[in-house]
Amino acid sequence: MQFTPYALINFIVTLVALWLGYLIWSRRPGIGVRAHVLLSFGLMLWAFGSGIELLVIDLNAKLLTTHMTYAGITLSTSAWFVFVLQYTGYGKYVTRRLILFLLIEPLLVQVLILTNPLHALFWESIALEAVDGLTVARYGYGSAFWIHAVYAYGLLLISLILLVRSLIRSSPLYRGQVTYLLLSSLTPWIANFLYVSRLSPLPDFVDLTPPSFLIVVATAAWNLYRYRLMDIIPVARDTIVEGMTDSIIVIDRSDRIVDINPAALRLLNVPAGTALGRPAAEIITGQEHVVEQFRNVDEVDSEIETEIGGKRRNFNLRIIPLRNRQQELTARIVVLHDITGLKQTNEQLKIASERAEESTRLKSQFLATMSHELRTPLNAIIGYTELSLMGMVGNLNDTQKQYQERVLANSKHLLGLINDILDLSRIEAGRFELLIQPFNVADWVRDIVEQHAVLASEKGIGFASELDPSLPEQVLGDARHLRQIVVNLISNGIKFTKEGTVSVTVRREPPHADGEYWSIQVRDTGIGIPASQRETIFTEFYQVDSSLTREFGGTGLGLTIVHRLIMTMGGTIRVESTEGAGSTFTVTLPLVPVKDQAPAPVSAHLT
Ligand code: ADP
């Protein structure tokens, strides 16, 4: 064993390579990561082998270390070649076949070194020599060695050419990283030249190639680490940015274009190659208001409208500021996404929906007018039929009377239907007005109850009512329409109940944060409503079971009108029901009590 500080250099290189390899390994997966880890591993073997060789003095021991050194050298050169292929966008050539091919030479070299005493092809002579008090091995290189050297330098040369091409092609934004890589890859050439030419100031047995290769490994690691290869190495940029249909422009701190993709060139009608390095405002002419936006230092996500080639175009403009670690703005990425088509479709949709709304309104208006006009002759029919039934046009015999009664009943049914349609279409056409004025709740309830108690008893069912005494005597509201709501609910209750009771409960609701409310509850013990239909019964013409229509009559309009009326009054309606056991409809309305004196009637026009 002997000691020399030159061995130490190699051990330091070994450790640094180990660390770099680990650092990049932690970044996987990513383009070039595996190649880089292999590169670091190769350099580790190379430097460690060279270091040990300097420490041992026995020739056999020295020869043993060359296995490690050459495994490292051959591995690093192959790994470097693979790394450069991937880095410069030729990753698709890195196939299993290529890897196997690249492994041939390292294996061959190992075999040649092992069998060298038999053929002396790798080293013609090996001798120990004392230099500066150290025992060093002198190798006389054989033909196989020179073939290996040519092969290794061939790989390095191809890598160098690939890097130069990439440098020429890449946009300024990426030129920095490519340049560093290119320059660093020159250092092994220089070190090797010094070693071979013996121009190195160090003793001639010291090979500086491992430390110089460390520079390459470190620069590659820096590129991978700093630029996160996957994100913005030239390859990733080419495939993502170049192929994108959105326009992408990268602008530096002084508003100069440093990168622009083909979509942006097409959009701005700028010939390729003229834009890079020039101020954005100079290249993008006639779009001052757009370029003005590029100056934004903060992130922007807005819509812009502009004219390009005489056509109005809409874009979604996104500006993403890029900052360095000191938080200084280094560049801005401008992304223009064409939304002209989307915008036009939206506008067309808007027009179409406005038209549809208008036509529905006109239809409802027509219905309102028509049903109003229909009522007049119908009222005449009803009036005259009643007169004739009263015997005003002479005595009727039984058959005549029966016929006239049928006419009267059907006309009244028709009138009810027309009234429903008129109400609904008036609400829909926006021609519906609430007449808000004070009314006496007790009188209002009594009136309704009196009318329906008779109807219920005729059908053989009970009728009950309850009025909460805490309700104010007078409240503000549209008594006529409120009556219409309750009458509708009670009529349904009676209609769908065969036995039992229909009851009406009017009460004051417990105080609520957003105001006072009162409620009217109509409960029946009838057929009930299936759960799935409890929402739909409020839509027009809807009936739970159309066979019921035949049994009970009705149009499916009643609850729709009730619902709309309640909504215009600012109230709500909900239904609870058990099939076969009965239903409960609860209407909740804002309670506006009338204080002291009754105010003048208020008319609210609601749509
Ligand atoms: P209709 O004129 O048919 O009564 P509505 O809009 O008033 O129209 O009611 C719609 C449907 O809801 C009815 O056909 C019926 O199927 C159901 N319905 C309404 N009220 C009750 C109730 N109290 N009990 C059972 N079913 C009801």
Rounded to the nearest whole angstrom, what is the distance from the C-alpha of residue 539 to the centroid of ligand 1?
Answer: 11
Q: Which two tokens stand for residue 339?
A: 């939304």
Residues 6+ apart with CB under 8 A from 579: 527, 528, 529, 530
Does residue 138 sit in helix, strand or coil? Answer: strand
Q: What is the pLDDT of residue 77?
A: 93
Taking alpha carbons only, the member of 224, 251, 229 closest to residue 240 is 229
Taking alpha carbons only, the member of 150, 142, 134 closest to residue 204 is 134
Q: What is the pLDDT of residue 234?
A: 53
Nearest CA to ligand 1 atom 20: 492
- Burial of 233 per CB tally in 10 Å (0-12, 13-18, 19+): buried
Least confident stretch, 189-203, 216-230, 232-246, 259-273: 232-246
Rounded to the nearest whole angstrom, what is the distance from the C-alpha of residue 194 to the centroid of ligand 1?
Answer: 102
Contact between residue 62 and residue 137 where contact means Cβ atoms under 8 Å apart: yes
- Burial of 390 per CB tally in 10 Å (0-12, 13-18, 19+): exposed
Q: Which two tokens stand for residue 542?
A: 């809807």
* Substitution site in 489, 492, 574 for ligand 1 pocket (most atoms within 8 Å of beta carbon): 492
Ligand 1 lined by 544 (C-beta under 6 Å)? yes
Q: Which two tokens stand for residue 483?
A: 């009556």
CB atoms within 10 A of CB 278: 14
Contact between residue 278 and residue 257 where contact means Cβ atoms under 8 Å apart: yes
* Substitution site in 537, 546, 564 for ligand 1 pocket (most atoms within 8 Å of beta carbon): 537
Which of 3-7, 228-232, 348-352, 453-457 is most confident? Answer: 348-352
Q: Which two tokens stand for residue 601?
A: 């009637």
Contact between residue 509 and residue 588 where contact means Cβ atoms under 8 Å apart: yes
Is pLDDT larger for residue 344 or for residue 32?
344
Q: Which two tokens stand for residue 490?
A: 């009670």
Residue 342 binned pLDDT confidence (cut-offs 50, 70, 90):
very high
Q: Please give the number of the atom of ligand 1 that sits closest to the Cα of 497.
A: 24
Mean pLDDT of 176-191: 85
Q: What is the pLDDT of residue 264?
A: 86
Query: Is the bond into 117 cis (omega within 30 degrees of 0)?
Result: no
Mean pLDDT of 160-171: 84
> How far from chain centre, in Å, is Cα 126?
69
**pLDDT tens digits, one per residue of 475-486:** 999 998 999 999
CB atoms within 10 A of CB 339: 18
Q: Which two tokens stand for residue 477?
A: 């509201």
Ligand 1 lined by 296 (C-beta under 6 Å)? no
Q: What is the pLDDT of residue 115?
A: 94
**pLDDT tens digits, one per residue of 539-572:** 766 666 655 554 555 667 888 889 989 998 999 9
Rounded to the nearest whole angstrom, what is the distance from the C-alpha of residue 529 to the centroid of ligand 1?
Answer: 8
**pLDDT tens digits, one per residue of 377-389:** 999 999 999 999 9
Does this model's pTM top 0.85? My answer is no
Mean pLDDT of 386-405: 91
Beta bridge partners of 322: 331
Q: What is the pLDDT of residue 589?
A: 94
Nearest CA to ligand 1 atom 23: 493
Across the chain, mean pLDDT equals: 84
Rounded to the nearest whole angstrom, what is the distance from the C-alpha of residue 227 to the centroid of ligand 1?
Answer: 70
Q: What is the pLDDT of residue 405?
A: 92
Ligand 1 lined by 526 (C-beta under 6 Å)? yes
Mean pLDDT of 408-420: 87
Rounded to the nearest whole angstrom, what is the distance from the C-alpha of residue 547 to the centroid of ligand 1?
Answer: 12
Q: Please give the number of the atom of ligand 1 that sits closest to the Cα of 582.
A: 24
Nearest CA to ligand 1 atom 8: 556
Compute the distance between CA of residue 247 and CA of residue 195 in angstroms, rounded to an integer: 52
Q: What is the pLDDT of residue 173?
A: 62
Does residue 390 sit in helix, strand or coil? Answer: coil
Ligand 1 lined by 558 (C-beta under 6 Å)? yes
Rounded to the nearest whole angstrom, what is the distance from the C-alpha of residue 442 to the centroid of ligand 1?
Answer: 27
Ligand 1 lined by 583 (C-beta under 6 Å)? yes
Does residue 379 sit in helix, strand or coil? Answer: helix
3-class SS letters over 425-468: HHHHCCCEEEEEEEEEHHHHHHHHHHHHHHHHHHHCCEEEEEEC
Q: What is the pLDDT of residue 231?
A: 44
Rounded to the nearest whole angstrom, what is the distance from the C-alpha of residue 443 to the centroid of ligand 1?
Answer: 27
CA atoms within 13 A on the CB side of 592: 15
Percent of the chain with pLDDT over 70: 90
Residue 232 binned pLDDT confidence (cut-offs 50, 70, 90):
very low
> Which ranges in 26-58 belong to alpha helices (H)?
33-55
Rounded to the nearest whole angstrom, what is the distance from the C-alpha of residue 512 to the centroid of ligand 1?
Answer: 31
Q: What is the DSSP string of 176-213?
A: HHHHHHHHHHHHHHHHHHHHHHT--SS-TT---HHHHH
* Substitution site in 529, 579, 585 for ligand 1 pocket (most atoms within 8 Å of beta carbon): 529
Phi and psi at residue 553, in whole multiples of 5°?
A: 80, -175
Q: Please give the number of the atom of ligand 1 that sits closest to the Cα of 528.
A: 25
Ligand 1 lined by 582 (C-beta under 6 Å)? no
Rounded to the nearest whole angstrom, what is the distance from the C-alpha of residue 67 to the centroid of ligand 1?
Answer: 96
Does residue 576 sit in helix, strand or coil? Answer: strand
Contact between residue 60 and residue 113 where contact means Cβ atoms under 8 Å apart: no
Mean pLDDT of 157-173: 83
Q: What is the pLDDT of residue 238?
A: 64
Residue 605 binned pLDDT confidence (cut-offs 50, 70, 90):
very low
Helix/strand number for the chain, H first, E second? 18, 15
Mean pLDDT of 70-86: 92
Ligand 1 lined by 548 (C-beta under 6 Å)? yes
Does residue 22 sit in helix, strand or coil? Answer: helix
Contact between residue 44 and residue 57 where contact means Cβ atoms under 8 Å apart: no
Ligand 1 lined by 555 (C-beta under 6 Å)? yes
Q: Please give the number of the atom of ligand 1 that sits closest to the Cα of 488.
A: 7
Compute the distance between CA of residue 392 and CA of residue 18 in angstroms, rounded to an integer: 119
Taking alpha carbons only, the member of 546, 503, 506, 509 closest to residue 526 is 503
Percent of the chain with pLDDT over 90: 36
Mean pLDDT of 202-219: 84
Q: Which two tokens stand for residue 39?
A: 């590169």
Q: What is the pLDDT of residue 324?
A: 66
CB neighbour burial string for 139-174, b if at least 16 within 10 angstroms, e if fewer? beebebbebbeebbeebbeebbebbeebbeebbebb
Does residue 32 sit in helix, strand or coil? Answer: coil
Does residue 229 sit in helix, strand or coil? Answer: coil
Ligand 1 lined by 502 (C-beta under 6 Å)? no
Rounded to the nearest whole angstrom, what is the distance from the C-alpha of residue 359 to the centroid of ligand 1?
Answer: 29
Q: What is the pLDDT of residue 601?
A: 47
Ligand 1 lined by 492 (C-beta under 6 Å)? yes
Ligand 1 lined by 584 (C-beta under 6 Å)? no
Beta bridge partners of 307: 312
Rounded to the nearest whole angstrom, what is the distance from the C-alpha of residue 458 to the centroid of ligand 1?
Answer: 20
- Burial of 522 per CB tally in 10 Å (0-12, 13-18, 19+): buried
Ligand 1 lined by 49 (C-beta under 6 Å)? no
Compute the distance between CA of residue 101 and CA of residue 99 in angstroms, rounded to an integer: 5
Ligand 1 lined by 496 (C-beta under 6 Å)? yes
Q: Does the pLDDT value for residue 90 go beyond 60?
A: yes
Task: Label the pairing between strands 462-467 and 501-508.
Answer: parallel
Compute the distance between CA of residue 498 and CA of residue 85 in angstroms, rounded to an integer: 88
CB atoms within 10 A of CB 44: 24
Ligand 1 lined by 537 (C-beta under 6 Å)? yes
Domains and CATH numbers, the chain: 5-233 (1.20.1070.10), 241-338 (3.30.450.20), 345-426 (1.10.287), 431-606 (3.30.565.10)
